[in-house]
Chains A and B, each alone.
Chain A
């Protein structure tokens, strides 16, 4: 009976999830560009994958994505944890702060990108105007790769730190207080309590949050595309945008499919490495 009740869900998941996945694997072995001279799919074996391994554009996009992900996830984790700690205490305006802080989460990513574009577009946005007027900084995301990259990092932090905060806050609220009180009585200082008690007890929550943010950051597309289009040049062309450009405007379905699969592989490997690192550290601490 259990399987019977699960059957509709499993069938829909299989159709909507697994079928496209297997189709991508299949298409990745073909040379298939919609606008090539000869129409159709031509079997090329592992050529697409061979080409990918040496493709500087693909490797560059991966590199940029990993750098972006490392920065945003670590900063969001630290900032979110800090804010969650703050929100466990009572202070004036706490409710208002929590509400305002959580607002970015309800905004659609494409709108986030559009809003940030209005803020930072050179010549029209207030940010470059006031940076130039008061600090004499020539801030231009259309011209300087570093400005564009940092802006995408800031935008992501602004958008997703509330998620980390709320998750950590839920975790902090759920951990028992008695061990901390006992440790205090035994003479431990706040840092020791934080390091040896709070962090280990929060490890499941931290791990879950890191994984969710990691997977989200690795596949970021809409906000960045809206803000910079992947530019200047390819400096903010992260792997999601790169795959999108290959598959849709360029209509290179075979190569794009291989790229998607290889990216999934790298994502799984990265997640496994992060899991191993965090759990190993957790074991050492305990």
Chain B
């Protein structure tokens, strides 16, 4: 009898603990705002955000978000979020972490429906996958359904064209609010390119004046020249960066996503009509053009510093900022600090920007809207369907998108999501310091494109990455690599249910 009682008591204790640890009940419905009676004193005028937070029942609520630890995200966490908290009374727990960790955590949360996060960072290349899986709340519809929470100054037309990458393909509604956008473009060292001795030596060797490369042959010539110049003059100087990490997908993003469009190969060479990648099945992954692209990209390793095969986007920027290369394809989010921050860069004031090199006809095709010359990257903040505080998160995603924050945010972290930001004094000053990076982005941004609308982006990437790495390590030739990747893609997409 006694032992039975102890057993029951222990079970009771455990059950109590489990109940105490259970998820909190859903937030109660927003209370209907009462009209003040004639006897009540008139309240002090509250900001719109405070009123909206009260209407949504979000005052003193804490919303949790996750983002990548990059300058734009850190700015939103450190500068904009505290202001939101003060104005609205809604608290924010803002987690910034590595790209891989962020992606992993938010995906687990949304897939399991756990509701840990109220807003997440949506990388442009994963947006379609999330939309396809109905992971994201429809921001446009939420604003329609909750007019008292729709900030009047929030206008979808105020964003740059990059916003279109976060629209539901079926109805065009906004599924994420852009918070960063930048182009991966061509940076070069103006101090080296404009040095008279160097210019004379280059022209003597190659027969044409030294200038930012417009095609890949020129790019290779310049890379070779500066590598030899560095050796001859006992300098730690190489011709180019190469983002060729042999164990991280960053190499994929340069060698397989940024460079092939410059050779006229788009959408990873996958034919989206029949979901095939091999040339014989109507794809272009193992086409001659793509093989030329990979061969060219790999040839740059000879003229790159030793850290190239350990470099992601962070390391290539660091390499450029350390003055170790003459040119490189660098993400725009790093362009500003490389060009302007003397505490982190020794090439301040000596950074030029230009369009990436392209093969004949590619630039015209891009201008006609039929291709691109490089990668338009960035992300948005979206509200997971699993969020436990979606209305509170709706206020946040509208708050940070206000025009007032954009100029300083852009100057601090080299990202532009609003058209009007280009004309702000802050950005114009930064534009001068970066030798026209923002002018380039404004005028030529439409020549760049984001990732293709594949719902299987990450899954396919992981399937064929092991083959891709073999090209960099030299275990396979470029031709063999692309042939194997294309065949593997055809087989894997069928396995996933795409194509026959």
Contact = CB atoms under 8 A, between A and B. Distances in A.
A in complex with B? yes
Interface of A: 1, 3-5, 7-8, 11-12, 33-39, 57, 121-124, 128, 138, 140-143, 145, 228-237, 245-246, 248-252
Interface stretch (B164-172, B218-226, B410-418, B454-462): B454-462
Please indicate which of the listed interface residues A230, A233, A236 has the most CB atoms of chain B within 10 Å of its own CB.
Answer: A233
B246 to A, nearest CB: 4
Contact of A35 (B133, B470, B472): B133
B161 interface: no
Given A121-B307, A232-B473, A233-B475, A34 B111 contact: yes
Given A36-B496, A142-B307, A249-B100, A231 B246 contact: yes
B456 A35 contact: yes
Given A7-B14, A229-B245, A35 B307 contact: no
A63 B315 CA distance: 31
A37 B129 CA distance: 11
Interface in B70-106: 100, 103-104
B326 to A, nearest CB: 15
A121 B473 contact: no
Could you tell me the dominant secondary structure of chain A's interface residues? Answer: loop
Interface in B172-214: none
Contacts of B32: none
B496 A142 contact: no
Nearest to A31: B495
Given A4-B3, A123-B319, 6 more contacts: A4-B7, A7-B11, A33-B496, A35-B456, A36-B456, A232-B473
17 contacts: A1-B3, A4-B3, A7-B14, A34-B107, A35-B455, A35-B496, A38-B497, A39-B133, A123-B319, A138-B306, A142-B307, A142-B310, A229-B245, A229-B247, A249-B104, A249-B461, A252-B459
A1 B470 contact: no
Contacts of A143: 246, 306, 309, 473
Contacts of A35: 129, 132-133, 455-459, 496
A232 B308 CA distance: 12
Contacts of A3: 3, 7
A35 B462 CA distance: 12
A27 to B, nearest CB: 13
Contacts of B247: 142, 228-233, 236-237
A229 B3 CA distance: 54
A234 B465 CA distance: 10
B97 to A, nearest CB: 12
Contacts of B498: 37
Contacts of A246: 462
Given A143-B473, A232-B472, A123 B305 contact: yes
B310 A141 contact: yes
Interface in B1-41: 2-3, 6-7, 9-11, 13-14
Contacts of B107: 34, 248, 251
Given A4-B7, A122-B307, A233 B459 contact: no
By size class, the interface of chain B is 35 or more
A142 B2 CA distance: 66
Nearest to B304: A123
B309 A142 contact: yes
A232 B473 CA distance: 7
Given A145-B473, A229-B248, A123 B14 contact: no
Contact of A233 (B103, B111, B472): B472
Contacts of B463: 250
A103 to B, nearest CB: 26
Contacts of B248: 229, 231
B369 interface: no
A252 B463 CA distance: 10
A248 B473 CA distance: 25
B291 interface: no
Nearest to A38: B497
Given A37-B496, A140-B309, A233 B466 contact: yes
B496 A8 contact: no
A234 B324 contact: no
Contact of A5 (B10, B133, B246): B10
B64 to A, nearest CB: 20
Interface string B298-323: 00000001111111000100110000
Please indicate which of the listed interface residues A8, A141, A251 has the most CB atoms of chain B within 10 Å of its own CB.
Answer: A251
Contacts of B331: none
B409 interface: no
A128 B496 contact: no
A92 B132 CA distance: 68
Given A7-B7, A33-B496, A142-B310, A251 B459 contact: yes
B469 interface: yes
A126 B129 CA distance: 42
